């Protein structure tokens, strides 16, 4: 378990993290989300004792990181996959890391196999692709078979096969009763991987909720309808309590009427429906709603056509 208690970290006059409290529980995959600069890495660094909190504290299995008896087998972490000696091979990197805590060569070979690096294990890590480097970082995090796994952007640079692999791995680790905590900007991937979410914006916690609860709160009361005669249906559904959004010529999103009622109205007027289902929100949509006010680094739309000239 990881317990973050009233954590504040300031750099100069700026609070990177401001009175943040949450608990990461065993047996679940907990996702850590937030816009760029929200404070995710700062929080993760504080968990590992790499940054000293300005106030508050972080406990890992009940102790501050520096007080852990066996830190590597308590929490395995990947914060920055590039932070390693680039001249060293993956095999040597893991052997050196393992030797500091009595981990033998057999376990090194096991994790190399687990992350799919056995074939390239003797090549210098400096020549690895981004995805291979990530795999090596994940191997290092798992080396001492830790109870808690914490990964900052683990899917960064992984190919589709690698993304599926890490998703399955993290879900399996949680199913074994371990604590899994990961950050990612890939909402679709987080939606498939995490059971619980902690969302941070401008250094403060915006949400600390089960995934199902977050998604249920957004999709409520909306129904997707596909009908070739969508225009006729709009006319029949229009009322002060109902809003109809035409998402495509034949596709409507209706709020305020149950799917069954829409089906009955359509049947009564001989309107064919090609599809009718309650809308489910995506994590991306829920996340955008939550964090809209907390985005500090926003791009501007690309201008096209006459607007450029």
Ligand X SMILES: Nc1ncnc2c1ncn2[C@@H]1O[C@H](COP(=O)(O)OP(=O)(O)OP(=O)(O)O)[C@@H](O)[C@H]1O
Cα–Cα distance between 170 and 182 in angstroms, integer?
A: 9
CB of 277 to ligand X, least distance (A): 34
CB of 196 to ligand X, least distance (A): 18
Given a contact cutoff of 8 angstroms between Cβ atoms, the answer to whether 297 and 37 are in contact is: yes
Given a contact cutoff of 8 angstroms between Cβ atoms, the answer to whether 46 and 86 are in contact is: no
Nearer residue to ligand X within complex by CB, 34 or 76: 34
Nearer residue to ligand X within complex by CB, 81 or 144: 81
Nearer residue to ligand X within complex by CB, 41 or 89: 41
Nearer residue to ligand X within complex by CB, 39 or 76: 39
Cα–Cα distance between 4 and 60 in angstroms, integer?
A: 9
According to DSSP H, which parts of 36-104 are helical?
A: 40-47, 71-74, 90-99
Given a contact cutoff of 8 angstroms between Cβ atoms, the answer to whether 147 and 61 are in contact is: yes
CB of 41 to ligand X, least distance (A): 3
Q: By Cβ distance, which residue is nearest to ligand X?
A: 16
**What are the CA-CA distances from residue 132 to residues 116, 126, 143 (Å)?**
9, 10, 16
CB of 67 to ligand X, least distance (A): 24
CB of 193 to ligand X, least distance (A): 17
Exposed/middle/buried for residue 12 (C-beta within 10 Å: 0-12, 13-18, 19+): exposed
Per CB under 6 A, residues contacting ligand X are 11, 16, 34, 36-42
Nearer residue to ligand X within complex by CB, 54 or 118: 54
Nearer residue to ligand X within complex by CB, 39 or 154: 39
CB of 286 to ligand X, least distance (A): 18
In this structure, the number of other CB atoms found within 10 A of the CB of residue 17 comes to 28
Q: What sign does the CA torsion over 82, 88, 94, 98 have?
A: negative
Give SS3 for 157: coil
């Amino acid at each position: 378990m990881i317990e973050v208690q009233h954590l504040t970290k300031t750099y100069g006059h700026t609070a990177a993290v401001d009175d943040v409290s949450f608990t990461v529980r065993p047996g679940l995959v907990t996702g850590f989300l937030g816009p760029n600069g929200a404070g995710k890495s700062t929080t993760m660094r504080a968990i590992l004792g790499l940054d000293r909190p300005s106030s508050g504290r972080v406990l890992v299995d009940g102790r501050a990181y520096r007080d852990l008896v066996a830190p590597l087998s308590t929490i395995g972490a990947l914060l920055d996959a590039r932070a390693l000696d680039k001249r060293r091979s993956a095999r040597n990197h893991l052997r050196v890391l393992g030797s500091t805590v009595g981990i033998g060569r057999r376990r090194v070979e096991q994790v190399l196999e687990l992350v799919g690096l056995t074939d390239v294990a003797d090549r210098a890590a400096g020549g690895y692709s981004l995805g291979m480097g990530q795999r090596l970082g994940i191997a290092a995090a798992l080396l001492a078979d830790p109870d808690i796994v914490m990964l900052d952007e683990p899917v960064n640079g992984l190919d589709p096969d690698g993304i599926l692999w890490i998703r399955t791995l993290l879900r399996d680790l949680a199913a074994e009763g371990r604590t899994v905590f990961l950050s990612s900007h890939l909402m679709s991937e987080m939606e498939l991987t995490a059971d619980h979410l902690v969302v941070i914006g401008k250094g403060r916690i915006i949400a600390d909720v089960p995934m199902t609860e977050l998604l249920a709160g957004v999709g409520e009361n909306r129904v997707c309808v596909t009908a070739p005669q969508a225009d006729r249906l709009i006319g029949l559904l229009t009322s002060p309590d109902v809003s109809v959004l035409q998402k495509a010529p034949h596709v409507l999103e209706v709020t305020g009427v149950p799917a069954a009622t829409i089906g009955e109205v359509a049947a009564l007027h001989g309107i064919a429906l090609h599809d009718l289902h309650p809308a489910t929100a995506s994590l991306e949509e829920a996340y955008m709603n939550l964090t809209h006010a907390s985005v500090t680094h926003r791009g501007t739309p690309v201008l096209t056509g006459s607007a450029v000239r």
